[in-house]
Structure 1
């Protein structure tokens, strides 16, 4: 199976989805993440949310498409886990600055 080539901070994000310490290294200090109608600001808030979501849903994300749109890396991924509607395709909109994720918006 071929792996979708992704820019380093985005590849690291998907590789770290169940490892909060590794996940924290993917984001800038003031990063903003939007998911499921909530906004999380800063590495600590983002990693706390992701650790809780990982424990609750045991979701696995498999990116399958990427495009660049006005400076935003849009990655589409198949996501499966212990949540209603699994599996689902989610859109991840990454803005990368200085080799780190500055913002991320996740939507269906």
Structure 2
């Protein structure tokens, strides 16, 4: 299987996701937005809190298997397996990038 080529900010996010909330928050613009499970988190502090909370609830691994650019949004399809209900699942991560950082991320099924 060939390696997937992801834009640098997305690759950095996926690496940061294995490290912790501070690293994840630094991947976003100061007013970055995360939409996940029907909730919206705006700004690095809110994103850091979102990641900290989800990290205490679940452990998981993420394996991206496809990426496409649709109307300026990088859509990454990823196989996620872990200690959460419904595992494993394929998730759609929609990233909007701005100046080398993530301005928005929406996580959907």
TM-score by length of 1: 0.94
Structural RMSD (CA):
1.1
Query: What 5-or-longer segments of structure 1 have no aligned partner?
Result: none
Query: What 5-or-longer segments of structure 2 have no aligned partner?
Result: none
User: Within 5 A, what are the aligned runs for 1:65-104?
Assistant: 65-104=66-105
Query: In structure 1, how many angstroms separate the alpha carbons of the residues matched to 2:46 and 2:87?
Result: 25
1:53 match:
54
Name whichever of 78-87 and 16-25 sits farther off.
Answer: 16-25
4+ residue stretches of structure 1 with deviation over 3 A?
Answer: none
Query: In structure 2, how many angstroms separate the alpha carbons of the residues matched to 1:72 and 1:39?
Result: 18
How many residues are treated as equivalent by the alignment?
108
Query: In structure 2, how many angstroms separate the alpha carbons of the residues matched to 1:45 and 1:92?
Result: 18
